[in-house]
Amino acid sequence: MKKLDKSKPRPVKKVSTKKASSKKAVSKKVAAQKAKKEKKPRREPAKEMEMRKLRNELKKEQEASKDYRDKCLRALADLANYRKRVRQERQIASEASNDRLIYEILPVLDNFERALGPANPKDGESFKQGIELIYNMLRAVLEQAGVKDFCSVGEEFNPARHEAIYALESEDHPAQTIINEIQKGYMRNARLLRPAQVTVSKGCPQTPDQEAEDADESQKDE
């Protein structure tokens, strides 16, 4: 092996100028990126906690809103079912009430058939008594249902209870007084079922002098 001669100086390697400038540019770029990162403001811990808190509250409110919506939909469904059930119950009650009334009227129909049958005469006192019996039975059935007629003769005309068919002059009855009842009116409890058809008095007939005075007054008004 050859021994190195330490007395002789080692040759110095020449560094390329182009390579050195490239390393210098890279180091400047790295330093610039590092400075940029240092300049970027960091989010403070307090703001991060506040944002986390707001997100949690928003999540809770969304869950509560969904729960309220579900409850509202269930309540609406329950209300619709309740209304449907009430309608059905009312219809059933109405049909049952009609059935009871018809059942009570059937004996009246039976008696009419007996009275009009060939075995019974269609004239005479017995026929009249049979018709009166049927009439009283029918009135009893209607009274059980709360239906009653009301008398109108002698009363003052009331458009809520009476229907005027005729208007006649009368010396014996004041104006707007009911003289005659053409068809009876009926009430059920406190509710009007049918108004009475009546004849109403127009009061005393006017004399020729009164008619002339009324004509003059009407001309003046015109």
**Higher confidence at residue 210 or residue 163?**
163
pLDDT band, residue 200 (cuts 50/70/90): very high
Mean pLDDT across the chain, nearest whole number? 79
Quote the CA–CA distance of 91 and 81 in Å, as a whole number.
15
Query: Among candidates 185, 182, 189, which has minimal Cα distance to 162?
Result: 185
Q: Which helix (H) or strand (E) holds 75?
A: helix 45-115
pTM listed for this prediction: 0.50
| Phi/psi of residue 187, nearest 5 degrees | -120, 150
Quote the CA–CA distance of 36 and 213 in Å, as a whole number.
115
Summarize pLDDT for 142-151 with one digit per residue, the tens: 888 888 999 9
Kindly tell me if the per-residue pLDDT of 177 is higher than 50.
Answer: yes
